[in-house]
Chain A
Amino acid sequence: MKTIEMETDVLVVGGGTAGPMAAVKAKEKNPKLKVMLLEKANVKRSGAISMGMDGLNNAVIDGHATPEQYTKEITVANDGIVNQKTVYAYASNSFKTIEQLDRWGVKFEKDETGDYAVRKVHHIGTYVLPMPEGHHMKKILYRQLKRARVEVVNRVVGTRILMDSEGKAAGLMGFDCRTGDFVVIRARAVILCCGAAGRLGLPTSGYLFGTYENPTNAGDGYAMAYHAGAELANLECFQINPLIKDYNGPACAYVTGPFGGYTANNRGERFIECDYWSGQMMWEFYQELQGGKGPVFLKLDHLAEETIADIETILHTNERPSRGRFHEGRGTNYRQKMIEMHISEIGFCSGHSASGVWVNERAETTVPGLYAAGDMASVPHNYMLGAFTYGWFAGENAATYVGESAIAAIDPAQIEAERARIAAPLGRTDGIPPSQLEYKLRRMANDYLQPPKVTRKMELGLERFGEIGEDIDHLTAADPHELMRAMEVQHIYDCALMATHASLFRQESRWGLYHYRVDYPERNDDEWFVHCHLRKTADGRMESIRRPVEPYILPLDEDEKTAYQRLRIVKQAATA
Chain B
Amino acid sequence: MTYATQRTSVPVKVDEDKCIAQKGCTVCVDVCPLDVLAIDMVKGKAFMKYDECWYCLPCETDCPTGAVHVDIPYLLR
Binding site for B on A (CB under 8 A): 41-42, 44-47, 50-51, 155, 177-178, 205-211, 214-216, 246-248, 320-322, 325-326, 329-330, 430-433, 481, 484-485
What separation, in Å, do the CA atoms of A237 and B11 have in the docked complex?
34
Q: Contact between A50 and B76 (Cβ–Cβ < 8 Å)? A: no
> Known: A207-B76, A210-B73, A322-B55. Is A481-B50 also a contact (CB below 8 A)?
yes
CB distance from A475 to the nearest CB of B (A): 12
Chain B hits for A208, CB < 8 A: 52
Q: Contact between A41 and B35 (Cβ–Cβ < 8 Å)? A: yes
Q: Contact between B3 and A211 (Cβ–Cβ < 8 Å)? A: no
Cβ-neighbour of A325 out of B33, B53, B62, B72 (below 8 A):
B72
Q: Mark B42-77, 1 if CB is under 8 A from A, else 0.
A: 000000011011111110011000000011110111
Cβ-neighbour of A209 out of B52, B58, B71 (below 8 A):
B52
What separation, in Å, do the CA atoms of A431 and B1 have in the docked complex?
6
The residue in chain A whose Cβ has the minimal distance to the Cβ of B73 is A207
Q: Is B21's beta carbon under 8 Å from chain A?
A: no
What separation, in Å, do the CA atoms of A484 and B33 have in the docked complex?
13
Chain A hits for B54, CB < 8 A: 209-211, 214-215
For residues 1 through 54 of chain B, which have their beta carbon under 8 Å from a beta carbon of chain A?
Answer: 1, 3, 30-35, 49-50, 52-54
5 tightest A-B contacts by CB?
A45-B58, A41-B33, A45-B31, A207-B75, A322-B55
Chain A hits for B55, CB < 8 A: 322, 325
> Known: A155-B35, A246-B76. Is A430-B1 also a contact (CB below 8 A)?
yes
CB distance from B39 to the nearest CB of A (A): 12
CB distance from B23 to the nearest CB of A (A): 20
Cβ-neighbour of A329 out of B32, B50, B53, B77 (below 8 A):
B77
> Known: A321-B57, A322-B57. Is A216-B33 also a contact (CB below 8 A)?
yes
CB distance from A15 to the nearest CB of B (A): 11
Q: Contact between A42 and B34 (Cβ–Cβ < 8 Å)? A: no
Q: Contact between B1 and A50 (Cβ–Cβ < 8 Å)? A: no
Extra A-B contacts (10), CB below 8 Å, given A45-B56, A216-B33, A326-B72: A42-B30, A51-B57, A178-B35, A207-B73, A207-B76, A209-B54, A210-B76, A247-B72, A481-B35, A481-B50
What separation, in Å, do the CA atoms of A50 and B73 have in the docked complex?
19
CB distance from B10 to the nearest CB of A (A): 12
Cβ-neighbour of A216 out of B31, B34, B49, B58 (below 8 A):
B34
What separation, in Å, do the CA atoms of A17 and B19 have in the docked complex?
31
Cβ-neighbour of B34 out of A205, A207, A209, A246 (below 8 A):
A209
12 sample A-B contacts, Cβ–Cβ < 8 Å, listed by A number: A42-B32, A45-B31, A45-B56, A45-B62, A46-B33, A155-B35, A208-B52, A209-B54, A215-B54, A325-B71, A430-B1, A432-B1
What separation, in Å, do the CA atoms of A433 and B34 have in the docked complex?
18
Cβ-neighbour of B53 out of A42, A155, A209 (below 8 A):
A209
Chain A hits for B56, CB < 8 A: 45, 50-51, 214, 320, 322
The residue in chain B whose Cβ has the minimal distance to the Cβ of A482 is B50
Chain B hits for A155, CB < 8 A: 35
> Known: A44-B30, A45-B33, A214-B33. Is A205-B75 also a contact (CB below 8 A)?
yes
The residue in chain A whose Cβ has the minimal distance to the Cβ of B52 is A209
Q: Contact between A484 and B35 (Cβ–Cβ < 8 Å)? A: yes
The residue in chain B whose Cβ has the minimal distance to the Cβ of A213 is B54
Q: Contact between A326 and B77 (Cβ–Cβ < 8 Å)? A: yes
Q: Contact between B57 and A205 (Cβ–Cβ < 8 Å)? A: no
The residue in chain A whose Cβ has the minimal distance to the Cβ of B69 is A325
The residue in chain A whose Cβ has the minimal distance to the Cβ of B58 is A45
* Interface-central residue, B3, B73, B76, by most chain A CB under 10 Å: B76
CB distance from A471 to the nearest CB of B (A): 12
The residue in chain B whose Cβ has the minimal distance to the Cβ of A39 is B33
What separation, in Å, do the CA atoms of A208 and B62 have in the docked complex?
25
Chain B hits for A209, CB < 8 A: 34, 52-54, 73
CB distance from B72 to the nearest CB of A (A): 5
* Interface-central residue, B1, B3, B56, by most chain A CB under 10 Å: B56
> Known: A44-B30, A45-B33, A177-B35. Is A329-B72 also a contact (CB below 8 A)?
yes
What separation, in Å, do the CA atoms of A485 and B54 have in the docked complex?
15
Cβ-neighbour of B58 out of A50, A215, A325 (below 8 A):
A50
Chain B hits for A247, CB < 8 A: 72, 76
* Interface-central residue, A205, A248, A484, by most chain B CB under 10 Å: A205
CB distance from A431 to the nearest CB of B (A): 7
What separation, in Å, do the CA atoms of A431 and B72 have in the docked complex?
31
The residue in chain B whose Cβ has the minimal distance to the Cβ of A155 is B35
Q: Contact between A215 and B34 (Cβ–Cβ < 8 Å)? A: yes
* Interface-central residue, A47, A206, A207, by most chain B CB under 10 Å: A207
What separation, in Å, do the CA atoms of A215 and B32 have in the docked complex?
12
What separation, in Å, do the CA atoms of A438 and B17 have in the docked complex?
37
What separation, in Å, do the CA atoms of A40 and B72 have in the docked complex?
24
Chain A hits for B1, CB < 8 A: 430-432
What separation, in Å, do the CA atoms of A246 and B71 have in the docked complex?
14
Chain B hits for A326, CB < 8 A: 72, 76-77
The residue in chain A whose Cβ has the minimal distance to the Cβ of B70 is A322
Q: Contact between A322 and B72 (Cβ–Cβ < 8 Å)? A: yes
What separation, in Å, do the CA atoms of A215 and B31 have in the docked complex?
15
CB distance from B63 to the nearest CB of A (A): 12
Q: Contact between B71 and A51 (Cβ–Cβ < 8 Å)? A: no
> Known: A46-B33, A177-B35. Is A51-B61 also a contact (CB below 8 A)?
yes
What separation, in Å, do the CA atoms of A511 and B17 have in the docked complex?
54
* Interface-central residue, B33, B53, B58, B71, by most chain A CB under 10 Å: B33
Chain A hits for B72, CB < 8 A: 247, 322, 325-326, 329
CB distance from B32 to the nearest CB of A (A): 8
Chain A hits for B62, CB < 8 A: 45
